[in-house]
Amino acid sequence: MIKPNTVMSLTETAEKAIAAYGGRTIWQNAKTLETEISAYGLAFTLKRRPVFHHAKMVLDIHRPFSALTPIGLSKGITGILDGLDVRLENENGQLLSERRNARDYFTIGRRLFYWDDLDMSYFANYASWNYFTLPALLMREDIEWRELEPGWLEARFPDKIPTHSKVHRFRFDRETGRLIQHDYTADIISPLASASNVVLQHAQNSSGLVYPSIRRVTPKGPKGKPLGGPVLIHLDIHDFRLMNK
């Protein structure tokens, strides 16, 4: 995890990316992230899931914790990722169901064709936590980062962090430091589900913080470039606020 007031030795690409998204101090001191998202695409259709329309999320910056409301068709039900586990809570915070070590359940069977609310709670929350806390991820001591070439970083994640795959690659604009492309394999869908998450647009919130506001996930082509389609997930981030509580 990030240790407050710790200055790590990072590559030039990582340092530029952290600066582009607000700097070390704001991410080290922030405790939670509040955001609002809409998402749709073929991945929802294939798993027979409703799309997200202005769903609310609260994420812990320093540990894998994320809560998404609503997770499905019931507006008052929140899907929560807490480390490697997931659970559903109603609007009063009462536990409805839970699944420990949620990743262990993604084997052959009905999940090839259909995801329930707990399945989606795991996937949507860990993916969002990885995407939205990126500047903080660059400062984590438990993720192994290396610079492949200027603008390209590779990350190797520990088992304690839920994520798409062990290895991810990130491409940043060499001038601005902003994220351009994030490549991974969505292992819980398929070992062949190699994807590129491309940032189409950035926005700035009322506090001046810059963040990726429109993303599109498509299969990654044989030469490593994102294909034009099909669109697996189109993600709009409508709001993005770091909180010190």
What's at 152, amino acid-wise? W
Q: How far is CA 172 from CA 2, 15, 99, 131, 228, in A?
A: 22, 11, 36, 14, 20
Q: What is the pLDDT of residues 23-33, one digit of tens each?
A: 999 999 999 99
Using the predicted structure, report yes or no on whether residue 35 has a pLDDT greater than 80. yes
- Poorest-pLDDT segment among 44-48, 61-65, 105-109, 191-195: 105-109
Residue 1 confidence class, pLDDT cut points 50, 70, 90:
low
For residues 163-184, average pLDDT: 97
Distance (Å, whole) CA 158 – CA 131: 16
DSSP string computed for 137-168: HTT-TTSEEEEEETTEEEEE--TTS--S-SEE
pTM, 2 dp: 0.94
Using the predicted structure, report yes or no on whether residue 221 has a pLDDT greater than 90. no
Using the predicted structure, report yes or no on whether residue 101 has a pLDDT greater than 80. yes
Residue 4 confidence class, pLDDT cut points 50, 70, 90:
very low
Q: What is the pLDDT of residues 116-164, one digit of tens each?
A: 999 999 999 999 999 999 999 999 999 999 999 999 999 999 999 999 9
Return the sign of the alpha-carbon dihedral for residues 17, 10, 123, 181: positive
What fold does the segment set 12-238 form as a domain?
outer membrane lipoprotein receptor (LolB), chain A (2.50.20)
Looking at residue 11, the DSSP 8-state letter turns out to be -
Q: Residue 154: exposed, middle, or buried by beta-carbon count in 10 A (0-12, 13-18, 19+)?
A: middle
Q: Residue 102: exposed, middle, or buried by beta-carbon count in 10 A (0-12, 13-18, 19+)?
A: buried
Q: How far is CA 207 from CA 36, 58, 59, 180, 239, in A?
A: 16, 18, 18, 23, 11
Return mean pLDDT, the chain.
94
CB-CB neighbours of 185 under 10 Å: 18
Domain ranges of the chain: 12-238
Distance (Å, whole) CA 9 – CA 90: 43
